Every structure is written in structure tokens, then in C-alpha cells.
Structure 1
Amino acid sequence: MYDDVLVPTDGSDTIPETLAHALPIAANNDARVHALYVIDTRITMAASEGARDDLERWLAQEGDRAVAAVEERAAAEGLEAVAEVREGTPPKAILEYADEAGIDLIVIGTRGKSPREKVTSLGSVSERVVDNAEIPVFVVRNAGE
């Protein structure tokens, strides 16, 4: 039923809960796990010009760490995994990646504590993904909410 499962990650400490659902679904369907981190360009563009390059570098490093953690967990479960770090607006970039990669299911947590999530006026990434996705979205309500 599912050949490709997308797990968007912001690198927060809520990802283990999301993976606790995503990895068994992938294993039960012999699916490939896709880890995606989106560098939010709204944040980088809001930074001062002098700080922008450092911020972009730092976010790229955080993205690499975040997707590597998902890849490692998937590999530990014997699952094939791919990872990507992209720039853009998170909900839009997640949906674009899902379309481009032929994703069958998105498994996403409801809230993280990344820098972009601290900007409350930006709205909920998971909510926007659910509202606009043309494929099934499995939403994991993370503890403490």
C-alpha cells in the first residue's frame, strides 16, 4: 500500500515519537523512508545581512544532523532510507518533495521546537500539510501538547 513514506523533521526532540509510528508503517509495507528537513527561508531572509550567511550555514548543519538521525533509526530497523535538506517554506517544500518523490504517506509530528516553530505567527506546519496534501497524512500528536 505504501512504497515511500516521508518523515519531515525539524530536528527537535519530538521526532522519536513520530518515528515510533512511521518506521513500523514503513516496515510493514517494505517501504523506503524519506527524511526531509526544510531550511525556512522566511527566517533566513528576516536575519540581518551580516548574520544571514552564518544562520544559513548553521541551519544547514542542523538539517544534516536531523535527517541523519532519521536515516540511522530507519537503518537500525533494516529499512532503506534517503535524506534531503531543502530551502523554502516548510509546508510548501514538504508537499513539493512528496509530489516529486512519489510519496504515498506523510508521517508528521504536530509540534517541534525548532527556530521556525518559535515564530508563532507562521502557523502550524503540520496543519498546513494536512490541509493541502493530496495523499494520506498520519499526524502524530507529540507528548506535552
Structure 2
Amino acid sequence: MYERILVPTDGSAGVERAIEQAAELAAVHGAEVHSIYVLNTANFASLPMETSWEGVSDMLREDGEEALERVRGIVEGYDVPVRTHLIEGSPSREIVDFATEEDCDLIVMGTHGRGGIDRLLLGSVAERVVRGSSVPVLTVRVREEDLD
């Protein structure tokens, strides 16, 4: 049923539940896992100095590589093939585009499950992916205790 499962990561501890879910599904279906970390460069485009951007960019890339390495470690523990990708752009758009272009069968991603004013003010990458993706999306609720 599944050959390629996409699991985006933001590097937070809570996303590990989604990674584990993706790895379990991949193990059952003989699928491979793709994981992406999206550098949200739009948030930093207005920095005043080019040297400041270079420092921030390096730091973000390092964070992304560390997050992808954690995904790799978790998924390989399930004896499942994993490929990781560091991408720049808008997270929700890049997740949807990657899933489509790479013929992924499923996107598994964490969500904080915010509602009301929090969702209105903070937005939700998961919600935008669900609304914009032609690929099925499985959302895994991030529990508060997972964030500690």
C-alpha cells in the first residue's frame, strides 16, 4: 500500500512520535521513509546585514542536519531505509511539493492540535499541508509531555 512515506521534521522532541509512526508503517509495508527539514528562509529575509544572514543560515542548516540525523537514527532502528533532505522555502508549500514530486504515498506529521486563537495567531503548517496536499496526510498529535 505504501512505498514512500514522507515525515517532515522541525527538530522538536515532540515530532518523534510522528517519526516513530512513519517508521512503523514503513516497516509493515516494506516502504522507505523520506524526511525533510525545511529552512524557513522567509522569516529571516529582512535581516539588515548580509553577514548576519550568513551566520543565521549556517545555524539553521546545522539545526536541520541535526534534526535529520535524529530522524535517521529513529527510522534505522526499525530496519527501514531512510533518505533525508534539507530544503529551503515555505514549510507547508515545500512539504506538499516534495510529496507530489517524489511520488510519496503518505505524509506523516506532528501537530500541536492548537485551536481557537492560538491557531489563528500562530497558524498551522500541518493544517496547510492537509488542505493543500493531494497526498494523504496522517497527523500525529504532539503531547505536551513530549515537548519537555
- TM-score relative to the length of structure 1: 0.88
The offset of 1:144, in angstroms, is 2.0
The offset of 1:22, in angstroms, is 1.3
The offset of 1:52, in angstroms, is 1.0
Residue 98 (structure 1) aligns with? 99
Number of residue equivalences:
137
Amino acid at match of 1:98: A
Residue 32 (structure 1) aligns with? 32
Amino acid at match of 1:83: T
Label 1:129 to 1:30 Cα distance change in 2 as closer, same or farther (>3 A).
same
Any stretches of 5+ residues in structure 2 without a counterpart?
Answer: 113-119
Amino acid at match of 2:138: F
Label 1:13 to 1:48 Cα distance change in 2 as closer, same or farther (>3 A).
farther
Correspondence 1:8 to 2:8: yes
Instruction: After superposition, give the CA deviation of every residue in 1:39-60 in whole Å (9 maximum; x if it has no partner).
Output: 0022121333242111111001
The offset of 1:121, in angstroms, is 4.9
Residue 117 (structure 1) aligns with? none
Label 1:121 to 1:51 Cα distance change in 2 as closer, same or farther (>3 A).
farther
* Whole-Å separation in 2 of the counterparts to 1:4 and 1:48: 41
Any stretches of 5+ residues in structure 1 without a counterpart?
Answer: 112-119
Please, which moves more after superposition, 43-52 or 17-26? 43-52
Amino acid at match of 1:130: V
Amino acid at match of 2:95: I
* Whole-Å separation in 2 of the counterparts to 1:27 and 1:90: 26
